[in-house]
Amino acid sequence: MSSSTPRVERDSLGELELPGSVYYGIQTARAMANFPVSGRSQPAILIRAYILVKKAAALVSMELGALDRARGEAIVRAADDVLGGGLADQFPVDVFQAGAGTSTNMNVNEVLANRALELLGRRRGDYAHLSPNDHVNMAQSSNDTFPTACHLAAMLAARPLEAALAHLVAELRRKAGEFSAVRKTGRTHLMDALPVTLGNEFGAWASAVERAAERVAQRREDLAEIPIGGTAVGAGQNAHLRFRELVVRRLSELSGLALVQCRDSFEGLQSRAQLAAFSGALKELALELVRIANDLRLLGSGPVAGLGEIILPAVQPGSSIMPGKVNPSLAECLDMVAFQVVANDTAVALAAQAGQLELNVMMPLISHNLLQSFSLLINY
């Protein structure tokens, strides 16, 4: 069948015709029709983390003899294609979707299955030979793979943020040294108090950012516990007894992260407290950044009628009718970024408490807001 020829796929609800050129399948198509909400698909880092989960699972299933080598190696090769940057446009499911991330899980399963079929010389959609559900999703469920992928994505996203924070701390400390002899009025209640140096203020800002970065690092380590292997409710139904142990080890190797099994696999599916705590650490960082940005705006106010104690770098004209006016544009932008991070944390907190019994189904919202916070902070 030509890749331009439409194909028909079937599921328990009936049939759908799909463009022959796409690698996703019927469940992805249903999700696209059901949830045209935001126009935003899952972040690339989450898809990458999800592909790592699928690759690890395929390798372990082959090792355990549950998956034959021909199909398993084709799935691994398909995963490597995506990890290498291929098929990036084949993950269109909206971030607002069915609970528990089922739509994203099936999107990933279908893309890998169809690419694997192609590598085996089969036509896309030939699921009798290699199934998204029975082979790519072997010994897995949306309920354990989505939170596992989210933990991985957040830990991977933390690396560039921590590097950026370390650079910020170093620059603030450098400025503290540069301004160590610049004496100025200290202020409490916004009123004149005892003298300080400008270096004292910059040094305090450096310490505040450093402390916030330490909290981010601590919360990142909490995410090393992953619930993979718990399948639907935490008991690990349909998974080999050694699957959990081996897939955690393999996923650690593939991701470069020191991952461990959940101490309680049932809790690992029910509770999203670790992700909520990580989001909270980003909120705490955002609050410190707002405070520092607003101090800079205040110290730079004027230059005649304000404090005018520092001069912030001019990055763009500040007015269309007042030539020469320069605004604290970067600090203002930082405020807006930080306010959004605080708002994202509120959404994460609400979603984290909204789990019922054996599962929190609000995972897609948690991952979207948490990863957006990382993206905003890193890009700024």
- Burial of 335 from C-beta contacts in 10 A (0-12 / 13-18 / 19+): middle
Do 124 and 4 touch, CB atoms closer than 8 A? no
Q: Which residue, among 104, 114, 151, 150, has the nearest Cα to 135 in the 3D structure?
A: 114
Which residue carries 């970024």 as its tokens?
337
Cβ partners under 8 Å of residue 365, min gap 6: 95, 96, 347, 348, 351
Q: What is the residue-wise DSSP string for 7-34?
A: EEEEETTEEEEE-TT-S--HHHHHHHHH
Among the listed residues 71, 63, 85, the one whose alpha carbon sits nearest the alpha carbon of residue 119: 71
- Say which residue the tokens 């007015």 belong to: 319
Rounded CA-CA distance 75/92 in Å is: 20
Cross-strand partners of 185: 195
Would you say 30 and 16 are in contact if contact means Cβ atoms under 8 Å apart?
Answer: yes
> How buried is 177 (Cβ within 10 angstroms: 0-12 exposed, 13-18 middle, 19+ buried)?
exposed
168, amino acid identity: L
DSSP assigned state of 94: B
Q: How far apart are CA 115 and CA 94, in angstroms?
A: 22
What DSSP string runs through 125-163? T-TTTS-IIIIITTT--HHHHHHHHHHHHHHHHHHHHHH
Active-site amino acid positions: 319
Q: What contacts 282, CB < 8 A, 6 or more positions away?
A: 216, 341, 344, 345, 370, 373, 374, 377
Write the CB contacts of 246 (distance below 8 Å, at least 6 apart in sequence).
Answer: 60, 63, 64
